[in-house]
């Protein structure tokens, strides 16, 4: 009987992609996927270190898994991802039920770790994905594809440069081949992933470095791929050719995640973001000029050390000025080893809570208004899967709204036209256009 692998994924979309590739590696070793930890011979937690809460989750989950290991000592438990990179040895010391820890750049060496245990948090020079067989795909029309990993930006609050290592772009030819294989398996939408995806500068088939815009153009040529997205971008890497691509490539969806973190120049400087608020707003104007129907999404941190009420009011003003289609908001979390951890006056927790609530009020209001503005419009929807109600299907708008409508299950994987009738709390509903 085949052995069984259970993977639990935390954190960002890059972890989702990595988990899928780890399934591929272990499938080649005879492991089948299971959704039940109780049935597994191997359990992998693919972890996130970005905020303290995320990292602490790992230890409580390991505490829950320990009885399984006590009952079946042959069960293997491994910790992967960014917590493994940051705290590898420490995890094995704190929780003896763990057999091994593996950092994000060493996943191709997973079989050896499963067999022998230990900690592997090296940053090898080779492309790990070259040595990781693709996973058997579950049928889904949307897929992720990691094109760039790591970060050289060193924002003062952030662990990513330490957990993922230096910026590396994968060669374009390999990405085109992987995208083509995905298209052949029925994938219609690909989201290109990278911690700084728009800093992509992989080797092109012509021997020259390709930009992300060049790569997107080539991906548009692949038959079967109907939609392209990319995330996450840094404002300083938004090149002219990429802005222009938004106006020229129909397959590139009109939705851009462009984190700004703060609207105060003083805080941006302390964060080491290397741009001012007015530069960010001017950039958005240029992007909107290229693609007028583009929606923006962003990330914000409130309560960065030293942030005053006056700084925060500037963040509110920036959010108002942009009018985000959606955004993620976080309370600053002090991370060991980052420059901001020891710096400045830490903002009290209750002040952070209060600022977060005020910022969310602005973000949620704009998000709702944007979603409501879809009512009465005919939208192209990529059909994903059956909805909760009988006969219903659910898919995604170009702006990532979930859209419900009655349709034949055979429409899954197609882009259909839907007349939007209603805007609910978290989704739109409508009628398939004749
Ligand atoms: N590479 C991306 C995002 C990486 S992490 C970028 O540069 O935008 C995703 C988001 O988590 C960040 O944009 C930031 O808003 C948030 N984040 C990162 N470190 C944080 C910390 N120490 N405390 C709170 N939020 C944090
Ligand atoms: Fe972290 Fe900044 Fe790099 Fe984004 S750009 S991953 S926030 S250091
Ligand atoms: Fe978390 Fe690592 Fe992603 S810290 S956000 S899983 S890069």
Nearest Cα neighbor of 219 from 157, 166, 174 is 174
pTM of the model: 0.97
Q: Is 15 in the pocket of ligand 3 (CB under 6 A)?
A: yes
Provide the pLDDT for residue 126: 78
Q: How do residues 138-194 score in pLDDT, each as one tens digit?
A: 678 999 999 999 999 999 999 999 999 999 999 999 999 999 999 999 999 999 999
Q: 9 phi and psi, to 5 degrees?
A: -110, 130
User: Hey, which of 85, 152, 196 would you mutate to test ligand 2's pocket, going by the most ligand atoms within 8 Å of its Cβ?
Assistant: 196
Q: How large is the average pLDDT for residues 393-404?
A: 98
Ligand nearest to the CA of 19: 3
Asked if residue 275 lies in contact with residue 233, where contact means CB atoms within 8 angstroms, the answer is no
Residues pairing with 230 in the sheet: 192
Query: CA 331 to CA 426: how far, in whole Å?
Result: 23
Tokens 């992933």 belong to residue: 193
Residues 6+ away with beta carbon under 8 Å from 399: 253, 254, 255, 295, 325, 370, 374
Query: CA 259 to CA 254: how far, in whole Å?
Result: 16
The CB density around residue 158, as the number of other CB atoms within 10 Å, is 22
Give a three-class secondary structure readout of 109-130. HHHHHHHHCEEECCCCCCCHHH
Q: How do residues 80-129 score in pLDDT, each as one tens digit?
A: 999 999 999 999 999 999 999 999 999 999 999 999 999 999 998 777 89
Provide the pLDDT for residue 137: 65
Q: Which residue has a Cα nearest atom 1 of ligand 3?
A: 48
Q: How do residues 227-258 score in pLDDT, each as one tens digit?
A: 999 999 999 999 999 999 999 999 999 999 99
Structure token pair of residue 131: 């040595």
Q: How do residues 261-315 score in pLDDT, each as one tens digit?
A: 999 999 999 999 999 999 999 999 999 999 999 999 999 999 999 999 999 999 9
Asked if residue 132 lies in contact with residue 21, where contact means CB atoms within 8 angstroms, the answer is yes
Indicate if the pLDDT at residue 333 is higher than 90: yes
Residues pairing with 327 in the sheet: 298
Asked if residue 335 lies in contact with residue 48, where contact means CB atoms within 8 angstroms, the answer is no
Residues pairing with 405 in the sheet: 393
Structure token pair of residue 236: 């300083």
Asked if residue 170 lies in contact with residue 200, where contact means CB atoms within 8 angstroms, the answer is no
Nearest Cα neighbor of 369 from 404, 323, 400, 405 is 323
Q: Ligand 2: which residues within 6 Å by Cβ?
A: 151, 153-155, 158, 160-161, 195-196, 234
């Amino acid at each position: 009987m085949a052995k069984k692998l259970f993977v639990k994924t935390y954190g960002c979309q890059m972890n989702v992609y990595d988990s899928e590739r780890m399934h591929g590696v272990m499938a080649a070793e005879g492991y089948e996927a299971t959704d039940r930890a109780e049935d597994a011979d191997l359990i992998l937690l693919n972890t996130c270190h970005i905020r303290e809460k995320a990292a602490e989750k790992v230890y409580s989950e390991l505490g829950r898994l320990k009885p399984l290991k006590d009952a079946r000592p042959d069960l293997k438990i491994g910790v992967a991802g960014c917590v493994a990179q940051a705290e590898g040895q420490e995890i094995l010391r704190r929780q003896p039920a763990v057999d091994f820890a593996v950092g994000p750049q060493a996943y191709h060496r997973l079989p050896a770790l499963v067999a022998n245990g230990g900690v592997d948090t090296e940053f090898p020079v080779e492309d790990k994905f070259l040595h990781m067989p693709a996973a058997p795909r579950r049928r889904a029309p949307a897929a992720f594809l990691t094109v760039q990993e790591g970060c050289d930006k060193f924002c003062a609050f952030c662990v990513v440069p330490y957990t993922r290592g230096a910026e590396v772009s994968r060669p374009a030819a390999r990405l085109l081949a992987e995208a083509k294989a995905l298209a052949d398996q029925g994938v219609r939408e690909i989201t290109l992933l990278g911690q700084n995806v728009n800093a992509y500068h992989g080797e092109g088939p012509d021997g020259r470095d390709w930009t992300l815009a060049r790569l997107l153009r080539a991906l548009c040529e692949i038959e079967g791929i109907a939609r392209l997205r990319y995330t996450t971008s840094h404002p300083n890497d938004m090149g002219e050719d990429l802005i222009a691509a938004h106006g020229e490539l129909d397959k590139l969806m009109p939705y851009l995640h462009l984190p700004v973190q703060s609207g105060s120049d003083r805080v941006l400087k302390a964060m080491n973001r290397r741009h001012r608020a007015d530069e960010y707003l001017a950039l958005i104007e240029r992007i909107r000029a290229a693609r007028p129907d583009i929606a923006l999404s962003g990330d914000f941190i409130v309560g960065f050390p030293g942030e005053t009420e006056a700084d925060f009011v500037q963040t509110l003003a920036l959010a108002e000025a942009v009018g985000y289609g959606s955004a993620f908001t976080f309370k600053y979390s002090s991370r060991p080893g980052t420059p901001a951890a020891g710096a400045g006056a830490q903002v009290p927790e209750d002040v952070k809570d209060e600022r977060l609530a005020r910022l969310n009020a602005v973000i949620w209001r704009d998000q709702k208004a944007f979603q409501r503005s879809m009512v009465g419009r005919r939208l192209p929807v990529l059909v994903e899967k059956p909805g909760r109600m009988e006969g219903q299907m659910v898919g995604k708008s170009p702006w990532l709204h979930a859209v419900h409508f009655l349709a034949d299950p055979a429409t899954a994987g197609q882009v259909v036209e839907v007349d939007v009738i209603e805007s609910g709390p978290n989704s739109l509903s409508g009628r398939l256009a004749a």
